[in-house]
Structure 1
Amino acid sequence: MAAFAQSAPCWVDVQLPDLEAGKRFYGELFGWTFRPDGDRRADALGDGKLVAALAAKKDGRMPTAWGVYFATDDIEASVSRVRAAGGQVITEPLPAGRHGVLAQAADPGGAVFGLWQAGDRAGFEKQNEPGSFCWTEVHTRSKDRVDPFYEEVFGFRCADVDDSPLDVPDTDEHRVDFRTWSPPGTEPGPETAVGGRSVITAAFPAELPSHFLSYFNVADCDDTARTVQRLGGRVTEPPLDIPYGRMAVLQDDQGAEFAVLQEPVS
């Protein structure tokens, strides 16, 4: 079982109204295959390796959304740090069979994330390859409260970077306020970053809440966006070039949002 660095993103899952429809959508989009994990969940596999999970929502009031989990070797201590730093614990530490122990929390801006203490499942068996997780970032309106929160809870080393699109004018209106997170004990910067924080600007609807956006690596961003539309999903941010490749923000056919990233050709 490969271990994950403390505080690194180690797992993603999506809560959906219709599990079977989700399997059809993501199976065709990313080439995933599935195996049952209980009555209401399915593990997603890419080339036979764990990449994510799909779950049927137990309550229609739950959001249809992708969730990300961060690795911890002491989930009780992590939950205590969440509270001390001004966050909210939504789900107290809860065993997930032999897989491990999970908890859910929200940062001071309201963005929800998970904590994962590994049992016999560390998390991803494949990442940073086409059809698998490659990045996550929190989008918030409360950076002055959120930035110190993630440093205190996860020990992240932070670096402010220019993440602005390459094909728009370099003006204050288009510039992105972006910060990367590197694990404890590393030198902060793009080479070590495992996630980040982006500020929601006035250009977005006022009702858009703080949230995590997780990315999947793809071989062709434009083709993936077209496939999402063909499968009944939506393109919420069309493909555009950023310093790290070509990305798009998409929704599946049930409304769960995610992003894709095509890495630049080296």
Structure 2
Amino acid sequence: MNVQAEGMPCWVDAMFTDVEGAKSFYGDVLGWTFAEASSEYGGYTQAYRGGKAVAAVVPPMPGQEGQSAWCLYLASPNAAAAAERISANGGEVMMGPMQVGDFGTMVIAKDPGGVVFGVWQGGVHKGFEKIGETGAFAWAEVYTRAPEKSDAFFPAVFPYKVKRMEDEKIDFKILNLGDDAVLGRMKMTDDFPAEVPPYINVYFAVDDCDAAIAKATARGATVHFGPMDSPFGRFAALSDPQGAAFSVIDMGTAKGDMPKLTDES
């Protein structure tokens, strides 16, 4: 796999107190299989769909126990330089830059509104081995209560061009690399409970949204929104039994007209 363009979503992982439970849940809902846990890297366990790497799960490090959450990593050819831009633009570098063997270099950071994300400079591990296929990462959106902060921050750190969706009902923008939409930005409304922190909502592709929801809820997941048809596919937002938020989308059942977009940069 070639090195991803700077700012391209390139990997996702999540910490789970019950790693075996997470493996069982996502194995059933998304058809993942798992490698052996790496004791050298804190039990980091890579997930596969059809033999291709799609994500990873890991137990929390001592002192980091808490709410499970998916972390999206954005590619960079120079993680140290990205970390400097993060700090210079009001973000917070929480961890790193840290070299992970010969796999690559990672940074964990927050934007000025509190959205946690990662930066990954690939070594032998470039990131996703498939995207947009069943069981793999499909899309992601920054959910924030401080959209003006996220809107200034992300294009300053990464080479994004911003487009605004012309819809009075929602405050939504799309971040492009060249002509390709790679990330969304959604303003969190009062519909989100106050205790829900800002986050990046990760979408995984499925063949049948309703069937995936049925499997997930049977395993203890909670549906927060949907299923709903859209021009991008039928989707739903859930949280898994350990509280990690994610979405599923069947991109083969897109309905409706694509929204109009206005350039902002």
TM-score, normalised relative to structure 2: 0.90
Q: CA deviation at 1:4?
A: 1.0
1:222 equivalenced with 2:210 (yes/no): yes
Secondary structure class of the residue paired with 2:35: strand
Q: CA deviation at 1:37?
A: 4.3
Return the alpha-carbon distance in structure 2 between the equivalents of residues 123 and 76 of structure 1: 18
C-alpha RMSD of the superposition: 1.4
Aligned to 1:140: 144
Secondary structure class of the residue paired with 2:127: coil
Contact 1:82/1:153 (CA < 8 Å) preserved in 2? Answer: yes
Contact 1:19/1:54 (CA < 8 Å) preserved in 2? Answer: yes
Aligned to 1:16: 16
Q: In structure 2, what residue type is equivalent to 1:45?
A: Y
Q: CA deviation at 1:146?
A: 1.3
Contact 2:15/2:68 (CA < 8 Å) preserved in 1? Answer: yes
Contact 1:225/1:238 (CA < 8 Å) preserved in 2? Answer: no
Aligned to 2:259: none
Unaligned runs of 5+ in 2: 255-265
Return the alpha-carbon distance in structure 1 between the equivalents of residues 212 and 158 of structure 2: 33
Matched residues, percent identical?
38
Aligned to 1:36: 36
Return the alpha-carbon distance in structure 2 between the equivalents of residues 232 and 64 of structure 1: 15
1:117 equivalenced with 2:143 (yes/no): no
Return the alpha-carbon distance in structure 1 between the equivalents of residues 220 and 37 of structure 2: 26
Return the alpha-carbon distance in structure 2 between the equivalents of residues 4 and 244 of structure 1: 23
Aligned to 1:262: 250
Return the alpha-carbon distance in structure 1 between the equivalents of residues 65 and 47 of structure 2: 24
Q: CA deviation at 1:97?
A: 1.4
Q: CA deviation at 1:5?
A: 1.3
1:154 equivalenced with 2:161 (yes/no): no
1:251 equivalenced with 2:255 (yes/no): no
Any residues of structure 2 matched to 1:42-81 within 5 Å, and which? 42-58=45-61, 59=63, 61-81=65-85
Q: In structure 2, what residue type is equivalent to 1:17?
A: T
Any residues of structure 2 matched to 1:102-251 within 5 Å, and which? 102-162=106-166, 172=168, 175-183=169-177, 186-187=178-179, 192-251=180-239
Aligned to 1:89: 93
Return the alpha-carbon distance in structure 2 between the equivalents of residues 264 and 153 of structure 1: 33
Return the alpha-carbon distance in structure 2 between the equivalents of residues 218 and 254 of structure 1: 21
Q: CA deviation at 1:60?
A: 5.3
Q: In structure 2, what residue type is equivalent to 1:25?
A: F
Q: CA deviation at 1:53?
A: 0.3
Matched residue count: 250
Q: Which moved more, 1:222-231 or 1:54-63?
A: 54-63
Secondary structure class of the residue paired with 2:181: coil
